[in-house]
């Protein structure tokens, strides 16, 4: 058996699987590898970059968009009403520098909420989005205590007329899902879309893809993870804080 035969066989194999070959070994184009089965991929790590320099104190567009998208109703009881994203205003007492930023689930790579969950309801999807499986959440709220970012809310009141894509119910814990239903359809989260129309302070994308806008910005500018000392490898990064 000569080496040529083997090589020819392999070339033939390559041309049938990887697109059109204009000459042996020279490919006109290769087909984008698309997963045969729809679903999340661990090759992706969704991330959000917030530029606090652009975030205005008066703007609340991200919070409003979140409530609208996810059907969060304001019952007028701020201590118990669920809150997936909130605006935080900071002031450096010494210099007087004021900073405003949106605060939400930071989608940790090492999420403490998942560590403490006794039922396994709190989980991290392989693409880095931290969620609650409400089917098995018993509402113990350990995750709320474990979260260093106060990102999670308990649903205290019965919920009616939920959005079809966002089931929510009394007695379970919830938090920012990066609008997972939108992300699965190739869209960005509602807050990012709303921010783009106003301040343009938010960038959402795949942090594992070096060509994505978020990766390029992360490579270019200094960014901060809040409470980086905890070593949780956050999915939400900030600029200008």
Partner 1 sequence: MGTKGKIRTIIAFFVFVMALAFGGASLVVAADVPQPVTPKGKECVRDAAFMRANHMNLLKHKRDDTVYQGVRSGNDGLKDCVTCHAIPDDHGKPVGADDSRHFCRTCHDYAAVTMDCFQCHTSKPGGVSK
Segment interacting with partner 1, rule: CB under 8 A, options 49-57, 74-82, 127-135, 215-223: 127-135
By the rule CB under 8 A, 86 interacts with partner 1: no
Decide whether 159 or 241 has the Cβ nearer to partner 1.
159
Decide whether 55 or 132 has the Cβ nearer to partner 1.
132
By the rule CB under 8 A, 127 interacts with partner 1: yes
What residues contact 235, with CB distance under 8 A and at least 6 apart? 45, 46, 47, 48, 106, 107, 108, 109, 128, 129, 130, 178, 207
**Binding test (CB under 8 A) with partner 1, winner from 181, 225, 230, 241:** 181
**Binding test (CB under 8 A) with partner 1, winner from 25, 167, 200, 210:** 167
Cβ at position 161, least distance to partner 1 in Å: 7
By the rule CB under 8 A, 230 interacts with partner 1: no
By the rule CB under 8 A, 161 interacts with partner 1: yes
Cβ at position 44, least distance to partner 1 in Å: 10
What secondary structure, in 3-state letters, does the chain show?
CCHHHHHHHHHHHHHHHCCEEEECCEEEECCCCCCCCCCCCCCCCEEEEEECCCCCCCCCHHHHHHHHHHCCCCCCCCCCCCCCEEEEEEECCCCCCEEEEEEECCCCCCCHHHHHCCCCCEEECCCCCEEECCCCCCCCCHHHHHCCCCCCEECCCCCCCCECCECCCCCCEECCCCCHHHHCCCCCCHHHHHHHHCCCCEEEEECCCCCCHHHHHHHHCCCECCCHHHCCCCCEEEECC
Decide whether 169 or 240 has the Cβ nearer to partner 1.
169
Decide whether 40 or 230 has the Cβ nearer to partner 1.
40
Decide whether 182 or 237 has the Cβ nearer to partner 1.
182
Cβ at position 168, least distance to partner 1 in Å: 6
By the rule CB under 8 A, 103 interacts with partner 1: no
Chain residues in the site for partner 1 (CB under 8 A): 37-40, 123, 125, 127, 131, 133-135, 159, 161-165, 167-170, 172, 180-181, 183-185
């Amino acid at each position: 058996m000569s080496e040529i035969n083997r090589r020819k066989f392999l070339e033939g194999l390559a041309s049938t699987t990887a697109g059109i070959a204009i000459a042996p070994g020279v490919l006109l184009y290769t087909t984008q590898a698309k997963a045969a089965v729809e679903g999340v991929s661990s090759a992706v790590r969704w991330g959000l970059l917030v530029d606090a320099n652009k975030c205005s104190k008066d703007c609340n567009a991200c919070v409003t968009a979140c409530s609208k998208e996810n059907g969060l109703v304001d019952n007028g009881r701020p201590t118990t009403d669920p809150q997936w994203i909130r605006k935080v205003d900071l002031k450096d007492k010494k210099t007087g520098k004021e900073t405003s930023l949106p605060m939400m689930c930071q989608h940790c790579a090492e999420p403490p909420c998942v560590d403490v969950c006794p039922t396994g309801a709190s989980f991290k999807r392989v693409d880095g989005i931290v969620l609650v499986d409400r089917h098995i959440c018993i509402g113990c709220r350990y995750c709320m205590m474990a979260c260093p970012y106060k990102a999670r809310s308990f649903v205290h009141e019965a919920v009616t007329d939920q959005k079809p894509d966002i089931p929510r119910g009394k007695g379970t814990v919830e938090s920012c899902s990066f609008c997972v239903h939108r992300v699965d359809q190739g869209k960005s989260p509602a807050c990012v879309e709303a921010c783009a129309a106003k301040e343009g302070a938010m960038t959402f994308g795949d942090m594992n893809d070096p060509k994505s806008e978020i990766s390029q910005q992360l490579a270019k500018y200094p960014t901060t993870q809040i409470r980086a000392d905890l070593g949780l490898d956050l999915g939400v990064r900030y600029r200008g804080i």
